[in-house]
Amino acid sequence: MADRKNPKTLFISGGMSGIGKSLAHEYLRRGADIAIFDLVVDQDVLRELEASRKNQSQRIAAYQASVTDFEQLAAAVAQAVDAIGAPELAINSAGIQRAQPFGELSQEDFELVIQVNVFGTRNFSAAVLPTMQSGSRLALVASMAGFAANYSYAAYGASKFAVVGLGRVLRLECKPRGIDVSLICPPEVDTPLVVEELKNMHPVSRRLKDIGGSLSVEEALKGIIAGLDAGRGVIIPGVKAKITYLSNRYLPDFLMNTLVDYIVRSELKKMGSTAKPSDGVAL
């Protein structure tokens, strides 16, 4: 049985930046051997990670692999198992965002988001699960957007709802094998993914995202780690995010929708008379 708080081995995708990187640091501080799977293996990040180790004997293995390529990822996972052993904790943190109103988002961008976030989660899960022993945990980084819809988030929302659905199913499928599944659903976190998004964010999205709150990486990490330590099925870091999650669950749809529609309309009005509600979906 793995020690939940101090797993001996961590496998993490997207571990070179953002939430993934901060989780890698945390488990290195706790003494784990880790394997990272990411698009690019950044030597500077690796040196940074080495400095977080509790003791010098801890191994850090990094593999250049895309979660969208199952063959490549599965091969890298097999190598990692040989190098540091099977994961006691496996976290899929690789993800991508393309925010555009429904009609404006190109077929290519939509497919990219689905490929990385949905197929990537499937591929990572399918690659690590067969190697995992009873008592270990699979954690999937979804998002607040996996529970609460947001303006111009048709693709991202679809992809993260899908991760939540997949996580729910996997939880039931993995239980008989003694493997637990956690869904991590952070609100906006100050990561490269969000920095990129902020350059061009729709004012209505901004207004709605403020409801869920915005966290620094450290704050998000604290909440995520607390949830993983407690072995929770759904982990939501941040107070505002928890409130958003609970209101989505317990407020009637009618009330929620009326509230959100009111905010959407008042934001669009603020944008000026040049914008009509339908501009959002103009092709």
**Interacting residues with other proteins (CB under 8 A):** 70, 101-103, 107, 110-111, 114, 118-119, 122-123, 125-126, 129-130, 145-146, 149-155, 157-173, 175-176, 204, 208, 233-234, 249-250, 253-254, 257, 260-261, 264-265, 268, 276-278, 280-283
Nearer to other proteins by Cβ, of 49 and 142: the residue is 142
In the complex, minimum distance from the CB of residue 163 to other proteins, in angstroms, rounded to a whole number? 8
Nearer to other proteins by Cβ, of 250 and 272: the residue is 250
Nearer to other proteins by Cβ, of 41 and 243: the residue is 243
Question: How is the chain classified by DSSP, letter by letter?
Answer: ---SSS-SEEEEETTTSHHHHHHHHHHHHTT-EEEEEESS--HHHHHHHHHT-SSTT--EEEEE--TT-HHHHHHHHHHHHHHH-S-SEEEE-------B-TTTS-HHHHHHHHIIIIIHHHHHHHHHGGGPPTT-EEEEE--GGGTS--TTBHHHHHHHHHHHHHHHHHHHHHGGGT-EEEEE---EESSHHHHHHHTT--HHHHHHHHHH-EE-HHHHHHHHHHHHHHT-SEE--SHHHHHHHHHHHHS-HHHHHHHHHHHHHHHHHHT-TT--GGGGG--
Nearer to other proteins by Cβ, of 95 and 146: the residue is 146
In the complex, minimum distance from the CB of residue 21 to other proteins, in angstroms, rounded to a whole number? 26
Nearer to other proteins by Cβ, of 34 and 74: the residue is 74
In the complex, minimum distance from the CB of residue 266 to other proteins, in angstroms, rounded to a whole number? 11
In the complex, minimum distance from the CB of residue 194 to other proteins, in angstroms, rounded to a whole number? 18
In the complex, minimum distance from the CB of residue 138 to other proteins, in angstroms, rounded to a whole number? 11
